[in-house]
Amino acid sequence: MPKTAPMKRLVAPLCLVMASFATTLNAQDVGWSAGYNTFGVPGLIDMPGALGGADGELSYNISHFKNQTRNTLTFQFSDRISASFRYSALKDVRSRPDPESPVFSEIFDRSFSVHYRFLDEGRWRPAMAVGINDLVGTGIYGGEYVVASKTINPRLRATLGIGWGRLGSYGGFTNPLGVIDERFETRPDTYDSVGGQFQGDSWFRGDAAFFGGLEWQATDRLRLVAEYSSDDYAREDGAAFDYNSPLNFGLKYRYNDRTTLSANYLYGSEIGVHLSYTFNPQTPRHGSGLDSVPPPVVRRADLSEVAARGTGLEDRTRSALAAQGLTLEGLELAGSTLRIQIRNDRYPIASQAVGRAARVLTRTAPAQVETFAITLAAQGMPVTTVTVRRVDMEQLEFHAVAPDLSRAGTRIADATQSPPPLDGRWPFFDFGVDPYLSLSFFDPDAPLRADLGIALKASYEPLPGLVFSGRVDQRLIGNLDEGDRPSDSVLPHVRSDAYLYFKGGATTLPELTAAYYFRPGDDLFGRVTAGYLERMFAGVSGEILWKPQNSRLALGAELNYVAQRDFDDPFGLQDYSVATGHLSAYYEFPGGYYGQIDAGRYLAGDVGATVTLAREFDNGWRVGAFATVTDVSPEEFGEGSFDKGILLTIPLDWITGKPDRTRIDRVIRPVQRDGGARLSVPGRLYPLVREHQATDLDATWGRFWR
């Protein structure tokens, strides 16, 4: 039976909280940070608050008390919206808030939450937010809320909210939304053992309850928190721990700008701990970077006699560009224009590569050259030509607003023509050895598995655009080969047998391909790839992309025919084969947001679409989420109901401060099943092309002079 609370227990805290809303301070006035609760949501201890993190902030939270450990990754997707993914280990918990329901000895629960601040704090008004916990999940943590927070004075902040679901289970009363529709007064059972489905028919339904709390900033580092919780923990009470009181008390100690440690006394019986680590991708660890000093601009009056006449132009330009990490692929001197094509092997931001190349040309180009036409190439395929006036380079190097003035005189256009290839540039061979880390998440038998090893990578380019490449992984340590949970999928096992690919030995061949990149027309790009495309499939893949220089919209089409690879023979194939492909639309929204829709046929033969939404930063960071829905029903799909996950791209130079094009890409899926599984093809065109085009160059043009 749900707990109730006498009204007199609510009067004092609620009056205090309500009175606080008549003050004239706001959080921005006193530099208040929001903080995160034990669920990883902006808030108090267990209860949510109305504020949020700084725009773009990433936070990892781990909290534990009596048989519950919650790991939460929260991203402040915009100034107002934050989204959280939570992975929890629970022991001695009931599937339903009923003392007669069975107690599970252990559950690993995955859930998503969203928090939206719809009103900013002002001089007289509180900040207000609405949120949903367990937006997609089993429903164990299902709950919704509307909450207000207000700064009383430079040291004190108050919060008051109303909750539903778990947040309406203690001291509950009839749902006030029942005046709109009486269906709001009852809440259907929200537990779903399969998980992964939206349960919109239960949101903001059933009994409601008040919650609230106070935060006191005792010192610059120490914050004291007291809250009244509206969660009765009925699933855990008497099994995991004894619930004695709705009052929680906590200490939050800010160890440094990124790390906060908390200790909490919860529900009158338990001690809990909480660690929160936050950082903002927009703030690099090394500030503006540890780049080498760029070569100085050389004015024509200061050119050596050899350079002024253009003697040895090709050799001198090739050598000078190589010193800047750029490869010269083509060169042509036509009257007063010097045209070159370069490959950028060093700089993660293409505008910086263009600027370094332009600086070099001021030293090597003959005196009669007035313009530099610099073509950026990807995999030997010309993408964009940036035409820079030499006089701008000479006059603006030290100007206070050099980026704006130089961009005004610069033309960025599609590379419809490129200079002829240099003799000796092709064939080209490259190889390297890098460390690698392969991760597997959320196996119930081992929530985290990993392999650490070295990867030998090699590529051979006999002609412009033609690339033979391969990779061999040698595992040094790890336990990915220890997975032994057999798949129960009723679909073709295109992904659910993934663990078997790690049992064939410590040496594996993830990729071995031949690819050809080409330009079929203006604003068009093409790719054909054949070979062992990924760890699980081999075959042929073809792609066409339409991406104009200054267009936010791009359209693509991809067609593949692949066969499943053997588990233990790097060159063998199984009997399963499938034709798969997608039509894709890409769009760059203002403010660094990016959307993508891929519609087509997936590896298991199912048909549907994937929607991706991401936040991208100029320094290469990307945080996003995707969801795939196909004609496979939730029952056929199995655990998780449909494919979904989180995307993370971390540029290595953000960590080291040194120019490096390496990026760490991670996909975090709550569960990997066979429905909605898309082929992984190396070298897809959109990310390859986009980073060299005007939309990205304009956004980062300030790096031109670095």
193: confidence class by pLDDT, cuts 50, 70, 90:
low
Range of the domain at 480: 428-463+465-694
Question: What mean pLDDT value characterizes the chain?
Answer: 90
Say which residue, 169 or 302, is predicted with more confidence. 169
- The answer on 642 and 518 residing in a single domain is yes
Place of tokens 């606080």: 20
Residue 556 carries which side chain, given as an amino acid letter? G
Domain assignment of residue 567, yes or no:
yes
- The answer on 419 and 432 residing in a single domain is no
What backbone torsions phi and psi does residue 421 show, to the nearest 5 degrees?
A: -60, 145
- The answer on 436 and 403 residing in a single domain is no
pLDDT digits over 532-542, tens only? 999 999 999 99
657 and 634 Cβ atoms separated by less than 8 Å: no
User: Following CA atoms 244, 248, 251, 255 in sequence, which dihedral angle do they give, to the nearest 10 degrees?
Assistant: 100
- CATH number, domain containing residue 112: 2.40.160.40
Domain assignment of residue 292, yes or no:
no
194: confidence class by pLDDT, cuts 50, 70, 90:
low
What is the pLDDT averaged over residues 82-97? 88
Residue 699 carries which side chain, given as an amino acid letter? A
17: confidence class by pLDDT, cuts 50, 70, 90:
very low
Residue 86 has pLDDT above 80, yes or no: yes
- The answer on 545 and 665 residing in a single domain is yes
- The answer on 549 and 405 residing in a single domain is no
3-state secondary structure of 337: strand
Domain assignment of residue 336, yes or no:
yes
Say which residue, 198 or 594, is predicted with more confidence. 594
Residue 11 has pLDDT above 80, yes or no: no
- The answer on 539 and 405 residing in a single domain is no
Residue 21 has pLDDT above 60, yes or no: no
Domain assignment of residue 295, yes or no:
no
Residue 143 has pLDDT above 70, yes or no: yes
Domain assignment of residue 607, yes or no:
yes
3-state secondary structure of 307: helix
Portion of the chain with pLDDT greater than 70, in percent: 94
- The answer on 310 and 192 residing in a single domain is no
Say which residue, 702 or 100, is predicted with more confidence. 702
pLDDT digits over 620-677, tens only? 999 999 999 999 998 899 888 889 999 999 999 998 889 999 999 999 988 889 999 9
Predicted pLDDT at 23:
45
Provide the angle, in degrees to the nearest 10, between the axes of the packed helices 313-323 and 350-364. 140
- The answer on 433 and 414 residing in a single domain is no
Predicted pLDDT at 192:
60
47 and 161 Cβ atoms separated by less than 8 Å: yes
Neighbours of 566 (CB within 10 A): 16
Choosing from 223, 250, 279, the residue where a domain stops is 279
CA distances from 558 to 239, 379, 537, 587, 678 (A): 53, 19, 16, 17, 11
Residue 402 has pLDDT above 60, yes or no: yes
For 382-426, the DSSP string reads: EEEEEEEEHHHHHHHTT-TTHHHHHHHT-EEEE-S--PPBPTTT-
Residue 120 has pLDDT above 90, yes or no: yes
Contacts 24+ apart (CB under 8 A), 561-565: 562/533, 562/537, 562/538, 562/603, 562/679, 563/537, 563/538, 563/539, 564/494, 564/536, 564/537, 565/501, 565/532, 565/535, 565/536, 565/537, 565/538
Question: d(Cα 541, Cα 578) in Å, to the nearest integer?
Answer: 12
- The answer on 185 and 67 residing in a single domain is yes
Among 321, 327, 323, which Cα is nearest to 292's?
Answer: 323
Domain assignment of residue 704, yes or no:
no
Residue 227 has pLDDT above 80, yes or no: yes
**Chain centroid offset of residue 269 CA:** 38
* 139-142-143 Cα angle (round to 5): 165
Among 246, 225, 228, which Cα is nearest to 147's?
Answer: 228
- The answer on 439 and 402 residing in a single domain is no
Portion of the chain with pLDDT greater than 90, in percent: 71
Question: d(Cα 4, Cα 588) in Å, to the nearest integer?
Answer: 50
Choosing from 425, 449, 475, the residue where a domain stops is 425
254 and 260 Cβ atoms separated by less than 8 Å: yes
Domain assignment of residue 535, yes or no:
yes
- The answer on 409 and 521 residing in a single domain is no
- The answer on 325 and 224 residing in a single domain is no
For 59-71, the DSSP string reads: EEEEEEETTEEEE
Say which residue, 602 or 480, is predicted with more confidence. 602
What is the pLDDT averaged over residues 74-86? 95
Q: Could you tell me how many helices (H) and strands (E) the chain has, helices first?
A: 11, 33
What is the pLDDT averaged over residues 242-269? 95
Q: Residue 74 contacts by C-beta under 8 Å, 6 or more apart in sequence?
A: 36, 40, 41, 42, 53, 58, 59, 60, 61, 82, 83, 84, 85
Residue 396 has pLDDT above 60, yes or no: yes
Domain count, the chain: 3
Per DSSP (E only), the strands in 421-523 are 428-443, 446-463, 466-478, 507-521
- CATH number, domain containing residue 362: 3.30.300
Domain assignment of residue 625, yes or no:
yes
Question: d(Cα 619, Cα 115) in Å, to the nearest integer?
Answer: 26
What is the pLDDT averaged over residues 400-420? 91
